[in-house]
A and B are shown apart, each in its own frame.
Chain A
Amino acid sequence: MRLSADELIFWQHGFLKLNGTIVFTWALMFVLVGGSMLLTRKLSSKPQPSRWQSLLEIIVTAIEQQIGDVGLPQPKKYLPFLGTLFLFVATASLFTVIPGYEPPTGSLSTTAALALCVFVAVPLFGIEGQGFSGYLKSYLEPTVIMLPFNVISEISRTLALAVRLFGNMMSGAMIISILLTITPFIFPVVMTALGLLTGMVQAYIFTVLAAVYIAAATSSRERKERASTQPSSITPERIYG
């Protein structure tokens, strides 16, 4: 039994190995990049946009609103990063309806890479938000004694982010493959449907947690000031502007 798509090897030449994780990640990247290039080629600002444009607008505005609800003052600034994370994890689990496909997020390497992106992005956004010394000061937040715990939490939450996504995706694939040997016909279909739901929930959780970490790194004082001056509801200019 395979634990992840890592052990599915398509092509091997000495040191170079092309395993399932890489191939499926490339396929996903191709679909996402190619699909969005095709769809955004002829965007229009007519009152009735095309179907695909409406779909894209729904996705983008929904992600933007969720990011804004978490407590980030300018969702537009974080939309490229967080939206990419969400779309990748969500499509990785949605494509499990295609036979022969195994989610690349079921491999610890992929999830560790995604979590490392968050690990790097949080200090960058934090330094941008409140300056270098201001960000370093946030490690001494309640008192100086909390410094080691703040550093440990920074590392452990990255680990948790990676292992949570890996564990959920891997367990879904494993439950289905075990059920296929026990009750082959109907029951695996039910578990696949449940796996789709868990995949979407995990994509949502991954994105929201990354947003929460970024919101904690950018200054809380600044956030309160901005929140009092800006209305939190989404206005038409912010959607189309």
Chain B
Amino acid sequence: MDNTTVIAVASIVTAGFTISIGCIAPALGEGKAVATALSSMAQQPDAAPTITRTLFVGLAMIESLAIYCFVVSMILIFANPFWNHFLTQATTK
């Protein structure tokens, strides 16, 4: 296997692992947040606007973790710096 193949295999496998493992924790966290918000809205419907706003901000915070993973995996697949480096090296040779 030459360098480019190793990099391709490593980045594709790592991208898969990044997105799959990196989504588990935010998914659990968001599920818990929404469930708690729903039960508190059922108990106190008057506070629903406040709860909804806080929930959205909190969900955005939690979701940004999953989005970091997504961005890293996208970079690994579509804009991999190592891949580009070895590709230019191979073409200039």
Chain A positions within 8 Å of B, measured between CB atoms, are 1, 3, 66, 69-70, 160, 163-164, 166-168, 170-171, 174, 201, 204-205, 208-209, 212
Contacts and interface: CB of A to CB of B under 8 A. Distances in A.
A168 B67 CA distance: 7
Interface residues of B, number: 16
A164 B74 contact: no
Contacts of A212: 57
Contacts of A170: 71, 74
Interface of B: 49-50, 53, 56-57, 60-61, 63-64, 67-68, 70-71, 74, 78-79
A205 B57 contact: yes
A234 to B, nearest CB: 14
The interface residues of chain A, by DSSP majority, are classed as: helix
Contacts of A69: 49-50, 53
A208 B64 contact: no
B55 to A, nearest CB: 11
A220 to B, nearest CB: 17
A171 B70 CA distance: 8
A130 to B, nearest CB: 23
A75 to B, nearest CB: 14
A163 B67 CA distance: 8
Nearest to A206: B60
Nearest to B71: A167
